[in-house]
Amino acid sequence: MTELFDLAAALNTLYKYIHWEIQDKDFIPLSSEHYIKLPIADRSTKWYIINQFKLKNYATIMLIDEYDKQHLLSATRLICAISQSLPSSVSFRERLLYCKIFLPSCVFSNQDKSL
């Protein structure tokens, strides 16, 4: 069940922050100089920066860990699978808008709703 919630969170991230389709090559591993600046507890985690040109706001830096990276890639594949009936010339942003009608509204919610 946790995987489903994490996928929904990744879809929410795509809708809020990502403008272009992201692929594995768009995740840039953090350099050793950056790891030194992280808190000690976070240094054992593999961290990535998403290619800034894939983001809605190019001035933003999005730092994510390996776990979130995999969920973002899964969410991207889901969007592409749902929208495969669209022409290949359609942009990823248009695919996101098209898929919005098929996804539950909780994906787009910012509120934490505890059970």
At residue 114, the pLDDT reads 42
Where residue 22 falls among pLDDT bands split at 50, 70, 90? very high
At residue 25, the pLDDT reads 96
At residue 110, the pLDDT reads 62
Distance from C-alpha of 70 to C-alpha of 114, rounded to nearest angstrom:
25
- CA distance readout (Å), 9 to 3, 6, 96, 110: 10, 5, 14, 10
At residue 1, the pLDDT reads 65
**Taking a C-beta distance cutoff of 8 angstroms, is the pair 36, 47 a contact?**
no
Place of tokens 């290619």: 51
Each residue's pLDDT tens digit, 69-114: 999 999 999 999 999 999 999 999 999 989 988 888 777 766 544 4
At residue 15, the pLDDT reads 87
Place of tokens 């069940």: 1
**Domain residue ranges in the chain:** 2-108
At residue 74, the pLDDT reads 94
Helix (H) or strand (E) holding 95: helix 92-99
